[in-house]
Amino acid sequence: MAYKRFNEDDRSRQKTPSDRRSGGERRKDFGRSGEGSRPQRPDRPGKAYAYGDDRPRKEKTNRPAAPAELPPEEKEPDELPFLIFGRNAVKEALKAGRSIDKILVQTEPDGSLREIVALAKDAKIIVHEVNRRKLDEVCLPFGHGGKTANHQGIVAYTAGVEYCEIADILALAAERGEKPFVVVLDGVEDPHNLGSIIRSADCAGAHGVILGKHRSAPVTAAAVKASAGASEHMRIARVVNISVALEELKGAGLWIAGADMAGESMYKQDMTGAFALVIGNEGEGLSRLVKERCDYLVSIPMQGHVDSLNAGVAAGILLFEKRRQEANR
């Protein structure tokens, strides 16, 4: 017979509102005679029935213990298999030498898909031809509004993204003999914005992207697809505390600029040299602590009726403004 576990809600429902008392009051009453104590068992004096239950307790069985609950910060935000879908994304993953378990491709692939399949076979990667319905089913969890994600006829199963350390990003700049150029994301939650920013950062020549473990989108299949494969070439660090990461960048000689509407126009701020651009949350912008740690704030001049831009678009404009200033220096 299954045992019934009682929680606080169950106990509350078995008593009238007037009878309910705080947990501390109940604890003081347990095991005492008189009003408020547990009913005593007639066959075994001193032994009580289960609280709120008039049935004798059964002997305990050796049931397996429930798995310990992980703290929220240790849970993986994306428990689905890590997939790369979309032609450009899969192609760039193959060119970057990414570890791929297998690839599913639609039956009778066309020209660009045949090129990707050839790359996969050269890399000794298993390729299965499947019907489009199968690909739709695999990518359905990554879609929106009940529709499957746009896989473009190809899906790759791979290990999760390999995050790096901030020191690895700075080391890459040193290897290239360049001033460090970094993008820091403070609470960007939309994976499509994340992918768009990674793509713009790669095109603008940034050495790496830093994002937080909390209140931020991780690099999932949707982000990889939105980056058009740029995530395979970009060094991405995932840190616990963005403010601490900014202090580390300052220690390495970088100037920190936060994107904020209250900042000085990007045409008037000096964005050359060792530089980190901080992009805030889509709705709330930069957090207070992060804003305080920026050396200065920079804004994009607006002339239309709308006074704000999508986070991904704003990041792209500011990244290429830095490049423009570098070219005209």
pLDDT tens-digit readout, 266-306: 999 999 999 999 999 988 899 999 999 999 999 999 988 88
Question: Secondary structure of the chain: what % helix, strand, coil (to 5)?
Answer: 35, 20, 45
Top mean-pLDDT range of 14-28, 211-225, 235-249: 235-249
Alpha carbon distance 16, 14 (integer Å): 7
Residue 24 has pLDDT above 50, yes or no: no
Alpha carbon distance 233, 200 (integer Å): 12
More reliable by pLDDT, 244 or 22: 244
Burial code (b: 16+ CB inside 10 Å, e: under 16) for 169-188 equals: bbbebeeeeeebbbbbbbbb
Domain limits of the chain?
83-158, 166-327
Percent of the chain with pLDDT over 90: 47
Condensed to tens digits (0 to 9), the pLDDT of residues 134-176 reads 999 888 877 777 788 889 999 998 866 788 999 999 999 999 9
pLDDT band at 79 (very low <50, low <70, confident <90, very high): very low
Q: What is the pLDDT of residue 99?
A: 78
| CATH code, 83-158 | 3.30.1330.30
From the CB of residue 203, how many other CB atoms can be counted at a distance below 10 Å?
A: 14
- Whether 116 contacts 155, CB under 8 Å: no
Condensed to tens digits (0 to 9), the pLDDT of residues 229-245 reads 888 889 999 999 999 99
Q: What is the pLDDT of residue 150?
A: 87
Residue 17 has pLDDT above 80, yes or no: no
More reliable by pLDDT, 9 or 114: 114
Nearest by Cα to 157 from 87, 90, 231, 103:
103
Q: What is the pLDDT of residue 225?
A: 82
pLDDT band at 308 (very low <50, low <70, confident <90, very high): confident
Q: What is the pLDDT of residue 154?
A: 93
Alpha carbon distance 188, 212 (integer Å): 9
Residues whose CB falls within 8 Å of the CB of residue 9, separated by 6 or more in sequence, listed in order: none
| CATH code, 166-327 | 3.40.1280.10
Enter the DSSP assignment of 73. G
Q: What is the pLDDT of residue 96?
A: 83
Residue 10 has pLDDT above 80, yes or no: no
Instruction: Give the pLDDT mean for 249-275.
Output: 95
Q: What is the pLDDT of residue 43?
A: 52
Q: What is the pLDDT of residue 26?
A: 43
